């Protein structure tokens, strides 16, 4: 509601866990749910520490959908969080991009295989 989005969204929660605690089993669950999804546009909320790992798996396995992962460097519950900004970027990107897997962070949309998290600067950047 706070994002004021008018995009028709069907949401599912697979699990809530710090991305550092994610396992290959968790990533495979995300993969299977993306493959099962009848739609061809998917937005995934993901922790930033291992977002690139999940994007890589999805990008290697799924070629017929547009999938955008996003997260936030500052948690949603904290003032000045970038969560809603990145959500908006992801919702925009999933509607505009061709089939493929992307990461929407810091006002940019990155190809899954050309991005990394720069922990020192607290941003995602092209590789």
pTM of the predicted model as reported, rounded to 2 decimal places: 0.94
18 inside domain = no
The answer to the question of residue 16 being in a domain is: no
Q: Is residue 77 part of a domain?
A: yes
pLDDT > 70? residue 1: no
The pLDDT, as a whole number, for residue 10 is: 86
Q: Let me know if 12 is exposed, middle or buried by CB neighbors in 10 A (0-12, 13-18, 19+).
A: exposed
Residues 6+ apart with CB under 8 A from 65: 34, 37, 39, 40, 41, 42, 99
CATH of the domain at 68: 3.40.50.1170
Q: Is 1 contained in some domain?
A: no
Decide: 47 and 75 in contact? Cβ < 8 Å: no
User: Which range marks the domain in which residue 75 is found?
Assistant: 39-126
Residue 9 forms part of a structural domain: no
φ, ψ for residue 67 (rounded to 5)? -125, 130
Return the closest-CA partner of residue 37 out of 45, 48, 29, 27. Answer: 29
Q: Is residue 108 part of a domain?
A: yes
Element (H, E) at 13: none
How does pLDDT run across 18-44, given as a tens digit for each residue? 999 999 999 999 999 999 999 999 999
Total structural domains in the chain? 1
CA 62 to CA 100: how far, in whole Å?
Answer: 8
Q: What is the pLDDT of residues 59-111, one digit of tens each?
A: 999 999 999 999 999 988 899 999 999 999 999 999 999 999 999 999 999 99
pLDDT at 4 over 80: no
Residue 11 lies in a domain: no
pLDDT at 3 over 80: no
69: in domain: yes
Residue with the larger pLDDT of the pair 56 and 76: 56
Mean pLDDT of the 33-58 span: 97
């Amino acid at each position: 509601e706070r994002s004021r989005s008018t995009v028709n969204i069907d949401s599912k929660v697979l699990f809530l866990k710090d991305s550092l605690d994610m396992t290959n089993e968790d990533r495979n669950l995300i993969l299977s749910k993306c493959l099962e999804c009848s739609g061809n546009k998917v937005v995934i909320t993901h922790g930033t520490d291992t977002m690139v790992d999940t994007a890589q798996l999805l990008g290697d396995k799924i070629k017929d959908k547009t999938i955008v992962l996003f997260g936030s460097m500052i948690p949603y519950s904290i003032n000045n969080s970038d969560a809603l900004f990145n959500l908006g970027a992801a919702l925009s990107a999933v509607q505009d991009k061709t089939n493929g897997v992307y990461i929407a962070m810091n006002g940019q949309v990155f190809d899954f295989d050309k991005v990394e998290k720069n922990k020192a600067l607290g941003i995602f950047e092209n590789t």
